[in-house]
A and B are shown apart, each in its own frame.
Chain A
Amino acid sequence: MDKVLMKGNEALCAAAIRGGCQFFFGYPITPQNEIPEYMSRELGRAGGTFLQAESEVAAINMVYGAAGAGARVMTSSSSPGIALKQEGISYICGAELPCVIVNISRGGPGLGGIQPSQADYFQATRGGGNGDYYLLVFAPANIQEAADLMIEAFDLADLYRMPVMILGDGMLGQMMEPVVFKERKPRDLPQKDWATTGTAGKRKPNIINSLRLDPAELENLNIRLQEKYAQLKANEVRYETHQTEDAELVFVAYGTSSRIVKNAVAVMRANGLKAGLIRPITLWPFPEQAFEELPDSLRALMSVELSHGQMIDDVKIAARGRWPVGFYGRSGGMIFTQQEIVEAGEKLLREVSHVSGV
């Protein structure tokens, strides 16, 4: 199959169309504007519908409506825009509807800046809106992976009847890399017999709603959601490990910034320091399994993020006190260099040696 050179934002769109996306509702914001631009041009040609909403809030509620009618639907935005969508996302989770949400994130808080950032980890993995819910969150590190995950995203959303989020950053959205679009593997998916498609007078109406005033009914929904999340933890966790087999220091990093960390691992290895990397591909469910496979040689973990430390909480939970957990991060759109990471990693190893008296 042909390799094409594409921006991350555009590759996500081409993959979404291959994944069966029928509707796109969105509102412009940098650094994801190539997504609505591409969809406005291409989705109609593919038989779907693009609509620029009057706001992010309107867009996510259009997603709610189209998902309720059984369509394959997506929206995209960047950090402050995703913040605006949280009410709708919570409703969609409450109504158990499938959809795909892309966050090409930027620095915050507030309107922040437009440069790459990973400060939306909590928002993505802790349920940015109200209630006891999660999203399936993918964090691709390169454009090929972004396209591969996007092609699958609509199937997974339909399978679990829940939103799937693709969390990238401005770097992933703006950069170009070669990408090959693979065929979507057919899956057995449940019929959408819950969708509001019109009764034709032959069945009882389906109702899409997130209001459940009866506490017992609402608790039942929550129990059902938790069962679904347990299935996701069993079946959908994805991660990559890189040179962890004999490592003394293992970095944990995700998305495009994990590539800088991978370079740092190579530099440290060349200097004789045994470094490795765990790269979560699903941020939720977090790949706790990866930490069960770590070698006895391990002396410390270090979470490396384009934020002041959010994923580090999950790293500590997964570490269960077995190893010290260090941190290195930059924020606001500043991007760490591999040299900064090498130095931070070496410093942590020295501190660990000092404490343990080695």
Chain B
Amino acid sequence: MRTAEQQLIHMVNQISENNQHGGFDKAAEITSVHLQKFWARSMKKDIVAYLASDGTELSEISKAAVKQL
């Protein structure tokens, strides 16, 4: 089963995959807004930290979205 970090990565990739219509920029924006609206502070902090330290498992849209946080 997934670790807490793997779960966050899975979740953000799932969000971006489900919002990819409308092109890359729009998808990144929708994903970022979704994270802002629904994710707890600690989860946002952890995913930002993951992107800063590694980020390889995040999709390109997810990376762009997390950068906007």
Q: Do A and B bind each other?
A: no
User: Which residues on B are within 8 Å of A, measured CB to CB?
Assistant: none
